Every structure is written in C-alpha cells, then in structure tokens.
Structure 1
Amino acid sequence: MSTGEMFQRRTEFESESDGPRSLIESTYEQLSLDIIHGKYGPGDKLRLQPLSENYGVSVGTVRESLSLLVSDGLVLTQSQKGFRVAPMSLVDFEDLTKARVLLEASALRDSIVSGKDDWEGLVVQAYHQLSLAERRLEANPIAGFEIWEQRNQEFHDALVSASSSRWVQKFRVILYKQAERYRRLSTARRVSPGVLAHSEHEKIFELAIARDADAAVEALSFHIWSAVEFLKGRGLILESPDKES
C-alpha cells in the first residue's frame, strides 16, 4: 500500500477482536503516516501511554509498532530514553538520496530490460494520472499536493514494477517514505516541488517507454536529486540535525 493510498484510507483502527497482528500493522501504518505528515516533528518524544490513548490500542501494541518504525528509520530508540522521531537534516537527506538513487536506478534499468507490455501499459497509465494531478497542483500547490503525492508514488512504483529483486523493492519503499517526509517540508512554506517536476517526469517517461535504459536512469537520478536542491535552495532544511536536548 502506498503512503498516498494509506492517507486516503485513514479509517478507525480495527477492534481488539481482529487480533494483535492486525492491530500492530494498522497502528504502525497510522503512526508512519503521522510522522511523515509532520504530526510528530523531528526529535519529538513518543511516549507510550499517550500514544496508547490517542490510537485506542494497548501500550504493547504501540511498542511493537514503534519498533517497526525503528526498522524503517522513522523512529529512534535509546536505552532508558524511550522512542523519539528521527531527526531531519540536509546531511541525512543527501545520504538517503544517494542510497535511493542507487536502488531506483537499478530497479528502473531492470524493468526497462525485462518489462513486457503489461509493464509498459502500467507506466503509461500512471504517467497519465500524474500529469492530470500536476495540472491541478499548478493551479493550487497546497490543495493539490496530497493527490499529487499519491500519483507521484504510483508513477515511480510503476517505473520499477518489473524489477525482479525483492530486496531492492523492499528497501526502495523505505527510502521513498523517508524522501516523502522531506518533500512535505515544502508544504509548510506553501511551496511544492511537484510544480517544477512535470518536465522531469515527462522526460523519464519518454525514455523509459523508448527502452533507453542509460538515458532513463540518468534522467531519474537527476530528478531524485532535484528534490534536495529544491529544499536546499529555499532554506527549508537545516545542514545538520539539532542536538538532542
């Protein structure tokens, strides 16, 4: 499930009778969304009892959910200090972008080489939906951001959907979530990177459909790095994280 889809389907949590695993998964998804969307800011302490009350689940369920988020890199834990939201910084964003480019490039190249007609059809459909969302975003960057974010992820997912590597797919999803958290910094200042991204998406799409793997990978890498330059150029992110208080 994409983060955009999860945002659209934010419903009440399953009851205790649905079992501990489903409760952990739903609580994990909701906490993940709330961190990515900025409800809990970088460095915020995540106290078990208040979270238990807020989400209507047991303390044990919250603890298990936070442990999953530690694996995703969205939450940190320290002995005797509990859980807190992972910090954000330009240094961290550049680091995760390097890793993301490596994974996305590998998956895109694999998809272009091995993708069949169904892959191509999926890419065409996703690009069309993204283009529509980008028009709405240009008209209203704030109101159109959520649907654009969803369509943006669907396009990126479609591009790499023919990649056969389970591990590449798994870790690129984790890094995409991290990158989305950084992209959302722009909406707090009422600007959006999506307004500037259409020409980049168009180029990636055309090269992927033309099966030009080298050029498509180069265009995708430039596109992913452009988000770093967008935030850096507008002073939307600290060079390094604030020291823990």
Structure 2
Amino acid sequence: MFQRRTETESESDGPRSLIESTYEQLSLDIVHGKYGPGDKLRLQPLSENYGVSVGTVRESLSLLVSDGLVLTQSQKGFRVAPMSLVDFEDLTKARVLLEASALRDSIVSGKDDWEGRVVQAYHQLSLAEKRLEANPIAGFEIWEQRNQEFHDALVSASSSRWVQKFRVILYKQAERYRRLSTASRVSPGVLAHSEHEKIFELAIARDADAAVEALSFHIWSAVEFLKGRGLILESPDKEG
C-alpha cells in the first residue's frame, strides 16, 4: 500500500525523485485497476490521496501520458487510457517485435551470467505456477512478479537501450490487460507453464529461431485467452 508523504517530509529526496515515486505509484494503481479505463484523474483529489502537491501530480501524469496509460485533452484534463481488443492486439504486435529482437540478441550474445539469470528466474516462475494452479486468485500477484522477472531475464543480455526501454512500457501495458483475467476462474498463468518451459529450454539451447517463434506464440496467447472468454471489448466505449 502506498504510504502518504508530505512535501516537507520528502524534501530531502528532491523534486525529481518525488515526481518519480508518485509516477511509479500512479502507474501501479492504473495497471492494477484502482483507476479504471476512462476514469477522470482529478489533480486535487490525487494530490490529497498521495500526499504531494498538485504540481507533482501533474508532472507524474504527464509521464504516464508518454507511457500511454493516461490521456490528456485540452480543457478536459487527464483520464485513464481506454482498453479494447483492438488496442491489445496493436500493442501485442509491437511487443512481439521488440521482445523477440531482444531475446534473439540475448541468445546470441549472452554469457554464463545471462544463462544463470534465466535458469534462476525460470525456477522461481515454475514454483509460482504450482501455487497459481492450486489457487488462481491468491497466487496471481506472485506469479505476475515471477513472470515479469522471467521475461526480463530472457532479454537481459540485449544491448539495445531503446529496445529495452520501450519493451518495458509495452510489458506494463500488457500486464494491465492480463489482470482482466482475474474475472475468470482460470488464470492465463496456469495455461502458460508449458509455453514458458519451451521458451526456457530453447533459449538455454541457444536455438534463437525456435525460441523467438515460441516467445511470439506465448505473447499472443494472452490475447486469445481474453478474447475467448469475452473479457475484453472489441473497441473502447465512446467518451461521454
């Protein structure tokens, strides 16, 4: 839970770090669904909720606009970005391109330390998937964390700063959609174990082409999961 901090209490952190911490918490709250698609984000209530100035909230929301989690319109203020199947498919296309490129780069150039990170992350993810299978709701948060750590480890040897930067943004967007699965009795994480296992084995075997193909299939499977269960609208609702 976010702990409120007054501007005075946070002065030692400096204005930039205060903006960053507020941005990170707002981002987390949007991804986790505290603020739903299309919700208005009013500066004063947010200022009071997070214990920071209106200016800090405004700067933080502007950063979230750059990430695509928040929209802004002249005279209308800020609102949470809408969600739709069309948008999820679009961001998934972009994510596949970037993450596949980063995985290929990592497989080709990764050393022993990269392999070690992948092995450790896969082991932790496998344990989380067992817990998830036993209790899809209670086990979801730790699975989501381990899932991110596994994907991060897979691409951690990629040398492209820009690919890594935008991959993180798209991963966060995809997580927002994956969390819609909590409305279903079956978590996508339960179904993903065999896909993760295949990606892991191919990556460690340094089979770049097959690993990239398996990763692409895996990323797209989240779209098919939500679509097949009717958990996402085809297009965003029109704003009133």
Q: TM-score, normalised by structure 1?
A: 0.94
Unaligned 5+ runs, structure 2 = none
User: Does the C-alpha gap of structure 1 residues 94 and 143 become closer, same or farther in structure 2, counting only changes over 3 Å?
Assistant: same
1:155-210 deviation line (CA, Å, top 9, x unaligned): 00000000000000000000000000000011133431101000000000000000
1:80 equivalent in structure 2: 75
Unaligned 5+ runs, structure 1 = 1-5
Q: How far off its partner does 1:9 sit? A: 14
User: Does the C-alpha gap of structure 1 residues 13 and 152 become closer, same or farther in structure 2, counting only changes over 3 Å?
Assistant: farther
1:91-139 deviation line (CA, Å, top 9, x unaligned): 0000000000000000000000000011001100000000000000000
Distance 2:237 2:123 in 1: 41
Say whether the 8 Å CA contact 1:36–1:181 is kept in structure 2.
yes
Say whether the 8 Å CA contact 1:14–1:22 is kept in structure 2.
no
Say whether the 8 Å CA contact 1:14–1:23 is kept in structure 2.
no
Say whether the 8 Å CA contact 2:4–2:50 is kept in structure 1.
no
Distance 1:226 1:127 in 2: 19
Q: How far off its partner does 1:14 sit? A: 6.3
1:134 equivalent in structure 2: 129
Number of aligned positions between the proteins: 240
Distance 1:10 1:229 in 2: 41
Q: Structure 1 residues 10-19 or 188-197, which shifts more?
A: 10-19
Aligned partner of residue 241 in structure 1, secondary structure: coil
1:25 to 20, 23, 42: 20
Ranges of 4+ aligned residues in structure 1 off by more than 4 Å: 6-14
Percentage of identical aligned residues: 98
Aligned partner of residue 92 in structure 2, secondary structure: helix
Aligned partner of residue 166 in structure 2, secondary structure: helix
User: Does the C-alpha gap of structure 1 residues 190 and 59 become closer, same or farther in structure 2, counting only changes over 3 Å?
Assistant: farther
Q: TM-score, normalised by structure 2?
A: 0.96
Distance 1:7 1:55 in 2: 8
Q: How far off its partner does 1:22 sit? A: 1.3
Q: How far off its partner does 1:13 sit? A: 11
Distance 1:15 1:228 in 2: 41
Distance 1:187 1:11 in 2: 34
